[in-house]
A and B are shown apart, each in its own frame.
Chain A
Amino acid sequence: MEAILVLEDGTVFEGRSIGQPRRTLGEVVFDTAMVGYQQCLTDPSFRGQILTFTYPLIGNYGANTEDFESSICQAAGVVVREACGEPSNFRSEGGLGEFLEEHGIVGIAGVDTRALTRKLRSAGVMMGAISTDESAGEVLRRIKESPSYDEIDLVEQVSTQTPYEWQPGIATGKAQPQMDFEHRLKIVCIDYGMRDSILKNLHAVGCRCIVMPCKATSDQVLEEKPDGVLLSPGPGDPKRLTYAVECVKGLLGQVPIFGICLGNQMLATALGGTTFKLKFGHRGGNHPVKDLKTGRVTITSQNHGYAVDPQSVEGSGAVVSRINLNDETVEGLECEGLRAFSIQYHAEASPGPLDSRGIFKQFVDRIREPHRWVEIEPEIH
C-alpha cells in the first residue's frame, strides 16, 4: 500500500506503508544510530515524534521480546529507506513490519531518508504526518490544525500513574553478584519517561528502585526516605514541566540527585537555569562528550531536542562539567554543594556505546562516600 509523509512546510515524500496502515502525526526527527531501532521505538522520549532512521536498512536483525525500553512502542511513527522483510539473527522473533503492526505503529518505507534528513538539518525539526488514505493537501491541513509538539505535555502521557518498586525482569548481559535486599541503596526514580535500561543499570550497581509518577511532590518523594533520587529522561519541552521543577527544588540539598537527559534539564531549571530548543536535536550513538575535569572524551548515546543554556546556570551553584564536542552544548552539570549532578546523554545506552555506564557506579559511590562529590572521578571503563 502506498503512503505519504507530509511535512509542515508542505514537502511530500512518497513511499510504501509499513506497520499499521493509518494516520499519524508528530514532530519529525532523525536518529543516526545504525543499530538499536527497537530500543529507540520503545523509548518514551520518542513519544510524539515520527522517527526517521538515517541508516537505510532497518529491521535486519528482526525484533524480539527483550529489547524493550518500556512496555510499549512509543514513537508516533517511523520512516525508513528499506524495511527488511527477512531478518536474520538468533534473537529475532519476527520482522520489523510485524512488530510495528503488532504495536499499532504507522510507518513508511522507501523514502529518500537522506533527503529528509538534509531538510530537517537545514530547516530544523518540524511537524509532519504519515497517511495512507489522504491527499497531501488533506494531510497538510490536518498538521496545521493539530497542536505542535512543544504544546503537549507528553511526560504526563508516558509517566506511571502510581508508584511501584521495579523488579529485575529478564536478566541481560553478565550475571551480577546478588546483593542482600537491605544492603541495596534505595533510589527513587522520578518517571518522566523511564527507560528499563536505567533501572537495570541501577540494579546492577546495588540499588533498589522505587519508580514514582512525574507529578510526585518532593514531600511524597522524601517520605520514601530514599538514599538518592534519579531524574529520568523523557519527551517534550522541559519548559512545560513546572510541577516537576517544583518537586526537584524541594529535593535539592535534601537528598543526592542524579539527572539524565530531561533529568539534566529539570535539575538546571530547578537551579534557576533555562533551556532552549536545538535546531534538529542530538539523536544517535556517536556524540563525543568531553569531561571538563579529566579532559577525557567519551562517545555517547543521545536523544534530546532541548539543551541547557550554560549562561543561565552561572552563579546557581552548578558548573558545566561536560560539553558536546560537536556544538559545545551542555552535556552535564555538577552541583557539589547540593549533592546533585546530571548528564544530558544516555549513560545507560541501549542503544549505543556502553562507555559511560560507570557513571551509575559513581552515583552509588557518591551516596555511600560523600567525600567523593569533590573528587575527580575518572569514569570506569
Chain B
Amino acid sequence: MPRRTDLKKVMVIGSGPIVIGQAAEFDYAGTQACKALREEGMEVVLINSNPATIMTDTNMAERIYVEPLTLEFAARIIEQERPEGLLGTLGGQTGLNLATQLARAGVLDRFEVDLLGTSLGAIERAEDRDRFRETMRAIGEPVPDSAIIHTIEEAIEFSRTIGFPVIVRPAYTLGGTGGGIAWDEEQLRDICERGLKMSMIRQILLEQCVIGWKEIEYEVMRDAADTCITVCSMENLDPMGIHTGDSIVTAPAQTLGDQEYQMLRTASLKIIRALGIEGGCNIQFALNPHSYEYYVIEVNPRVSRSSALASKATGYPIARVAAKIAVGLRLDEIPNAVTQKTLACFEPTIDYVVVKIPRWPFDKFALADRTVGTQMKATGEVMAIDRTFEAALLKGVRSLEIGAYGLRSKTVSQWGEMQVEQCLREATDERLFAVAEAFRRGMMVQEVAELSRIDPWFLQKIKNIVDLEGEIRKAGPDGLTDELLTRAKRCSFSDHEIADMLRISAPELRGRRAGLKLIPPYKMVDTCAAEFEAVTPYYYSTYETECEVEVAEKPRVIVIGAGPIRIGQGIEFDYCTVHAVWALHEEGYQSIIINNNPETVSTDFDTSDKLYFEPITEEDTLHIIRREKPEGVVVQFGGQTAINLAGVFHANGVTILGTQFEGIDVAEDRDRFEQMLGELDISKTPGRGVTSAQQAAETARDIGYPVLVRPSYVLGGRAMEIVYSEEELLSYMHLATDVSPRHPILVDKYVVGTELEVDLICDGKEVLIPAIMEHIERAGVHSGDSMAVCPPVSLSREVQETVVDYSARLAKALDVRGLMNIQFVLDGNQTLYVLEVNPRASRTVPYLSKVTGIPMVNVATKCMLGRKLRELGYEPGLFPARPYYAVKAPVFSFSKLTEVDINLGPEMKSTGEIMGIDPDYSKALYKAMVASGVGVPSRGTLIATIADRDKEDASELIREFTELGFRVYATAGTQRHLERAGVTATPVKKISEGSPNIIDLVRSGEIDLVLNTLSPERNPEREGARIRRASVELNIPCLTSLDTARALLLALSSRKEGEEFPLVPINEFAEVTGPAA
C-alpha cells in the first residue's frame, strides 16, 4: 500500500530532557522520523521541551513547539494545529506515555487525530503487565511467573509454586531499596519482612528469578501488510540481573547456534504479530544457558536505546523505517538508504563485531552506590566495531574516556582477592577490569564464570587479551618481535597501552610501527556483509589487508565529536558537531566525523559525508587524519573531548581550523590566562593555581574565605567545592590530588553575586554576541545546574556594555576564530569579574541558537573557514534582544542514583535541560519549571528547613508562599525565625528529636514542596541530606536554593485562574520578531 494520502499534517512527540535511561538516542530517532515524514511530503508539527536537540531545529519540522511535554500543553497544541496523525513511538517512554495520555483523555478522538503506527491497544498489550502476560500466554510464549503479595505467608506459598531463587521487589521504593534475591525460604522470610516495612503500601512483587541466564534482544519490525523482519540480535555480556542499559552488549548474539537463534527469532515474529505493532519494537529474552528454555522478559513497543544501537550496529535506520511504516508504507516499498539498490525489506547481516559499553557517572559522584543491577545508572554509552570481539572491546574501553587504554586499572590492581571476587559476584562499573584482574592473578575461566555468571565465551576473550598483555610484558622492549606487535595491534591494543607496559614512549612505538607499515585499513558498515555495493561511507578500522576508504578529491575537513554522553558533556555537543558538518557541506567541503557514540545524530549514516566510528584518542584520530589528509581539523564542537586533542594535533603538525592551539592554551592555562587579563585590565576573581596543600592554605588566607577550589582542565565543574575554612580546604586537597595529578588545583575567591554567561562568535576581527544569559541562582551553583534567562532581567545597560567590551577584548586577545564561552560574576558593587573562558562551543550554544535565531555553529564554522561576520549578514556587537524570554532549566536524574545528594553546588549534577519560552518572563519561568518536572505545586503544604545564614532571606520568601495559600511546616529554628517575622508555621521535629519527625511528615504524602538550604555545619547537614533524599524517593519537589524558590514564586504568580498561555512555534518566534529588530 502506498503512503496514506489522507495525512497531510503529522505531529511528532520528542522525548524531552536527557535523563538516565533516555538520552540522545531519541533525538536521533526523532530527527530521522521528521526527515522521513517530510520526504513523504508531510507537514511536521513537533513538540519537545529540549532545545539542545537537532530535531527542534527549524529545518527539521514546519512547526516546532519547545513546550512542556504534558497532557495540558500537548492537547492545546493539537487543538491549535489540528494534525491528522500523531506519532508517539519515537520519543522514548516520555513520548509513548504522552501519546497514551492524549488517547485516553479523548483528545485524539475529539480532534480526529489518528494514532499512527502502533495502536493504543498494541501499546497497552505491551506495556500493561497483566495484559502483556495474557497476550503472551495466548500465543504460548513463556513469561516468568510473578505475583503481588502483602504478607510473608503469601510469599512463601507463591515461592512453592515457582521454586527458588525468587526476586523480591518492594513496591514504591527507589532503586529497588529493600529488595533482593532469595535463594531459600529463610532468606525469603528475611527479605520480605524488610521489604514490607520499606514499602509505603506494604506490597511486594515476587518474581521468578532467571538471574544468570543469557540476556538476548531482538529488534523487530512489522508493517501493515504483516511482513515482519528482525533487524539485529544482541547479546548482553552481563547476564540477566543487570539492566541492559548497564550491560556490555554485543551484536550480533555470539553464543547462540542456529537452533536457539531461530527459536528466539521465530518467537519475536510471533510476539510482534500478537501485539499488533506497526513499526519497530525491542524484545528481550532470558535464555537458559543449559537448555532451550527461555522467557520473554519485556517488549518495548517503540524505538529505544537498543534500537538506536541496532541501527548503528547494522546500518539499518530503524526509526526512519518505523516512521514510513506509520504513514502506511510497506517494508518492500521503502528503499534501503545504505545500498540504495536493495529495499528496507531484508535482514541486515554484518561481518564485524559490535561492542557497546555503558558510560557511568561515578567519576563525578564519588559517593554514589556503584553497584549495577536492575536500575540503570549509566548516562551514556560508546560503541566500537572491529573484526574480533577482543579488538572491539578494547576500542570500546578507550572510547569511554575514563583514563583506561586497556583492561588494566590501577585501582583494581590494588584490590585484595576478596574485593576482586566480590566485584565479580556483585557487578559494579569496574567489573570488566576485575575480570581481567582475576585472570592476571591466575583464576580460571570456569571459576570466573561461576562467580560472575558471565558466559565462558566472553571470559575466554577477555582472558585472551590478558594473556597477550602477559606476552608483551614478558617480551619487554627488546624482545617485542614484529609478529607479537602485529598480533597486539590486530587485537587493537593501543600504542599507549603497549608502550606503558614496555615502559617506552608511545611515539617511539609509533615510529616502530611506521617502519613496519603497521597502520590500520578501514572497512565499511554496509548492512549486507559486502554482498552488495554500498554508497554510505561509514567506516571502522581493523588491522587487516584491504582498505575501502577512498579519499575524496575535494577539500575535506574532519570534525572531532564528543564521545559518550556524561554529566557535563551532553547532547549539546552532538548538536554542535552536526551543525558544523552541515556548514562545511554548504561551503563545499567534504565533511568527516570521528565519533563513537551510537545514540547520536552525528553518527547517523547520512549526517556527514563520511563517518569514522572510532575511539577519540590521539592514536586513533591521527591514523584517520594521516589517511584523509584534510585541510584542517575542527576541535571546537566536541566538548572537552575534542579540545583536549588540540595540543596533540598542534604537536603533530595537523592544521586546526578555528582558534589556534596558542589561544586555547592561554585560555586553559591559569597563569598565562591571568597574565593576559592583567594586560587587558580585566578583573578576575582573585586566586591562584597551587600544587600543594600548604600553598593552597596560604593562597586562601591571602584572598580570604570562602574560596572555590577545583582542579584545572576540567569539565562540568568536576571535583569543585566551595570551602569555608582551612580545615575543609586541607581535607579537599588531600582528596583532590588523585583527580588530576598533572594539573594544579585552582583556589579562587568565591564571589557571591549574579552569574552571567556569554557565547560569542569571532571572525578574527570582529565579535558577535548573540545574547547575554543571566543565571537565576547566584554564583556557586554550577552553570550547568542553574536556571538561566535570556535576555537578562536585572542587568543595567552599563553592565551589559562592560560584558560586551570584555568579551570582545578577550576574543581578540585569544585570536578566537569561531566560538568562545565566557562566564562572569557580578558582585553587589556592580563589579564584573571573569570567572573562566572556554575556547570552544559550550553547553548553551543550542539554547542560544534557538533563542536568538542565529545559527551560531553554522556562522562560527564559516568564520573558521575564513568568512567574515559582516559578509554572513551579522553586525558585530550584542545582537538586539528579541521581545520574549527564554528560560533554561536543568533536569536531574537523582531518582536513578541512590546515595547522591541533590543539593545544588559547584559540582554539576544535572543530566539534561529544557527551555521555557514566552513573551512574559514569569510565564517562561512557569513553562520551564513544568517542563523540567519540578512539579510546580500551585498550593498545598511546604516544609522549610533553612540554614541559619539563609533564614533572613527565607522568611520573606515563605511569607509570599503563605500568601499564595501554602501551609508551612518548619523545623524549630526556622519556625521561630518565621514566627518572629510574622509568618505562621507549624513546628515539626527534626529526625534527631524523635518521632513523628520531618521524615515521617515527608513520607506521609501531605507535602507538596520542600525548601532546604545547605548548612555548613555537619549535623544539620546530615539531616538535610536525609530529607532531600526522602523527597526524591517520594517525588516531591525539593529546592535547595532560595533563588530557585523565588523563581518558583514568580512562576506561580503568573498562573492566574483561567488564563491561557499563547503557544507559538519557535519558527514563528523568529519570523514574528524578525532578525535584528
Contact = CB atoms under 8 A, between A and B. Distances in A.
Interface string A333-372: 0000000000000000111111100000000000000000
A32 B529 contact: yes
Nearest to B528: A32
Interface string B936-978: 0000000000000000000000000000000000000000000
A359 to B, nearest CB: 15
Contacts of B291: 90
A91 B257 contact: yes
A353 B265 contact: yes
Contact of A297 (B227, B273, B455): B227
B327 to A, nearest CB: 18
A89 B455 CA distance: 9
Contacts of A299: 229-230, 346-347
Contacts of B530: 54, 114, 117-118, 121
A351 B332 CA distance: 24
B227 A296 contact: yes
Interface stretch (B248-256, B506-514, B706-714, B742-750): B248-256
Contacts of A39: 258
A296 B225 contact: yes
Contacts of A67: 257-259
Contact of B255 (A32, A33, A89, A288): A89
Contact of B258 (A35, A57, A81, A114): A35
Contacts of A284: 349, 529, 531
B285 interface: no
B387 A56 contact: yes
A81 B348 contact: no
A48 interface: no
A224 to B, nearest CB: 33
B389 interface: yes
B199 interface: no
Contacts of A54: 349, 351, 529-531
Contacts of B350: 34, 55
Contacts of B346: 286-288, 299, 325-326
What does DSSP make chain A's interface, helix, strand, loop or mixed? loop
A36 B255 contact: no
B545 interface: yes
A325 B349 contact: no
A298 B266 CA distance: 12
B388 to A, nearest CB: 6
Interface in B269-295: 269-270, 273, 289-291
Interface string A67-88: 1000000000000011010111
The B contact surface, by secondary structure, is: loop
A51 to B, nearest CB: 14
Interface string B517-534: 000000100001111110
Nearest to B223: A297
Contacts of A355: 228, 266, 269
Contacts of A87: 457
Contacts of B258: 35-36, 39, 67, 350-352
**Residue picked from B230, B257, B342, B353, most chain A C-beta under 10 Å:** B257
Contacts of B228: 355
A55 B262 contact: no
A114 B351 contact: yes
B353 A57 contact: yes
Contacts of A90: 289-291
A61 interface: yes
A302 to B, nearest CB: 11
A290 interface: yes
B275 to A, nearest CB: 14
Nearest to A122: B533
Interface in B298-333: 331-332
Contact of B257 (A35, A55, A84): A35
Nearest to B546: A115
Interface in A1-48: 13, 30, 32-36, 38-39
Contacts of B262: 349, 351-354
A121 B457 contact: no
A61 B257 contact: yes
B226 interface: yes
A84 B290 CA distance: 20
Q: How large is the interface on A (under 10, 10 to 19, 20 to 34, 35 or more residues)?
A: 35 or more
B331 A34 contact: no
Interface string B327-344: 000011000000001110
B227 A88 contact: no
B792 interface: no
A113 B983 CA distance: 79
B460 interface: yes
A296 B258 CA distance: 24
B920 interface: no
B693 to A, nearest CB: 51
A37 to B, nearest CB: 9
Contacts of B290: 90
Given A60-B255, A121-B530, A121-B531, A285 B349 contact: yes
Contact of A35 (B226, B261, B455, B544): B261
B456 interface: yes
A332 B976 CA distance: 88
B352 interface: yes
A112 interface: yes
A286 B344 CA distance: 12
B133 to A, nearest CB: 22
A23 B581 CA distance: 52
B269 A288 contact: no
B225 A295 contact: yes
A121 B269 CA distance: 31
Interface string B220-263: 00000111111000000000000000000000101111110110
B1052 interface: no
B545 A112 contact: yes
Contact of B270 (A60, A350, A381): A381
B768 interface: no
A72 B1005 CA distance: 72
B486 to A, nearest CB: 11
Contact of B254 (A60, A285, A287): A60
Contacts of B457: 60, 84, 86-88
B388 A32 contact: no
A298 B350 CA distance: 20
B345 interface: yes
A351 B256 CA distance: 12
Contacts of B289: 90
Interface centre among A288, A290, A354, by most chain B C-beta atoms within 10 angstroms, is A288
Contact of A57 (B229, B254, B331): B254
B544 A115 contact: yes
A12 to B, nearest CB: 11
B256 A35 contact: yes
Interface string A276-304: 00001000111110100001111100000
Contact of A112 (B229, B531, B546): B546
Contacts of A33: 349
29 contacts: A36-B257, A36-B261, A54-B349, A55-B349, A56-B388, A57-B389, A60-B254, A60-B457, A67-B258, A86-B457, A88-B255, A90-B290, A112-B544, A114-B523, A114-B546, A115-B546, A121-B531, A280-B531, A286-B348, A286-B528, A295-B225, A299-B229, A299-B346, A325-B342, A326-B341, A352-B262, A353-B347, A381-B270, A381-B273
Interface of B: 225-230, 252, 254-259, 261-262, 265-266, 269-270, 273, 289-291, 331-332, 341-343, 345-353, 387-389, 445, 455-457, 460, 523, 528-533, 544-546, 548
Interface of A: 13, 30, 32-36, 38-39, 54-57, 60-61, 67, 81-82, 84, 86-91, 112-115, 117-118, 121, 172, 280, 284-288, 290, 295-299, 325-326, 349-355, 381
Given A90-B289, A286-B528, A355-B269, 10 more contacts: A30-B531, A54-B349, A55-B529, A61-B256, A67-B257, A82-B388, A91-B259, A114-B523, A290-B332, A354-B262
